[in-house]
Amino acid sequence: MCCLNIFTRMKCVVLLILLVAFAAAVIGCIQPASSGAATAPVQTTAETPALTPAPDTSLGTPTPSPTEEITTAPTLTSEIPASAGLTTIQTITGTGDETVTNVSVPSSYWELWYTADPLTMGGQDAQSVASASAVFPSLTITIVDHDTGKVFDTVQPPGGLDSALWQRTGDPRPWSQKYYSGNSVYDFEISGKNLRSYTIDIRVRS
């Protein structure tokens, strides 16, 4: 009877051990397997658009320097027509300063005809102080006796070369000057400023 109790107890212990082992095996099978190394999250960087730098206005906007306005004169007819009973013995043309020497006038009576095309608008009487302005057109003809060196005459357009005035009052060109002293040799010193051209004719009786 005693041996049977011992055997029964041992059988219960073995059975208990087997149940525990079986339970452990079952619990291990139903646990989820490890997924291994963790996957690092992907980082996304947003692209920053390039910024256009603003203009530097610390120095302010440059102001253009004022310039002197010069109005160009329109081209008007300035030809010297032929004169009845007169013959041209010398013609001088140019745009600026020029000197022509040894012009022989073989007559006691002769005429000086001249004209000019102003390059700029405006102008005042050639005798006035303001005519020395750098922008006003001007023409001066100095006639010098070649033998004595004395000034025979100085000629300037009456009223100056104001083409704006001519458009209102009429074109006075060409001009002429009569001389009753000749049979001499002359030098012609011409001073021209702001002119497209000038023409000077020396004429004697035919």
Residue-wise pLDDT tens digits, 63-118: 555 544 555 555 444 589 998 999 999 999 999 999 999 999 999 999 999 999 99
Domains detected in the chain: 93-205 (2.60.120)
Q: 195, 185, 190: which is closest to 99 by C-alpha?
A: 190
Distance CA 197, CA 141 (A): 14
Interatomic CA distance for residues 137 and 17, integer angstroms: 134
Backbone angles phi, psi at 26, to 5 degrees: -65, -45
User: Which burial class, exposed, middle or buried, applies to 122 when counting CB atoms under 10 A from its CB (0-12, 13-18, 19+)?
Assistant: buried
Of 110, 85, 92, 115, the closest CA to residue 175 belongs to 115
CA gap 64, 140 in Å, rounded? 37
Mean pLDDT (the chain) is: 78
Amino acid 5: pLDDT: 62
Which pLDDT tens digit goes with each residue over 22-71? 766 666 655 544 444 445 555 555 555 556 666 565 555 555 555 445 55
Work out the pLDDT band at 157, boundaries 50, 70, 90. Answer: very high
Tokens 């009576």 — which residue?
109
User: What is the C-alpha to C-alpha distance for residues 201 and 203, in angstroms, rounded to an integer?
Assistant: 6
pTM higher than 0.85, yes or no? no
Reference 139, options 180, 79, 196, 178; nearest CA is: 196
Angstrom distance (rounded) from CA 170 to CA 173: 9
**Helix ranges, the chain (H):** 2-30, 163-169
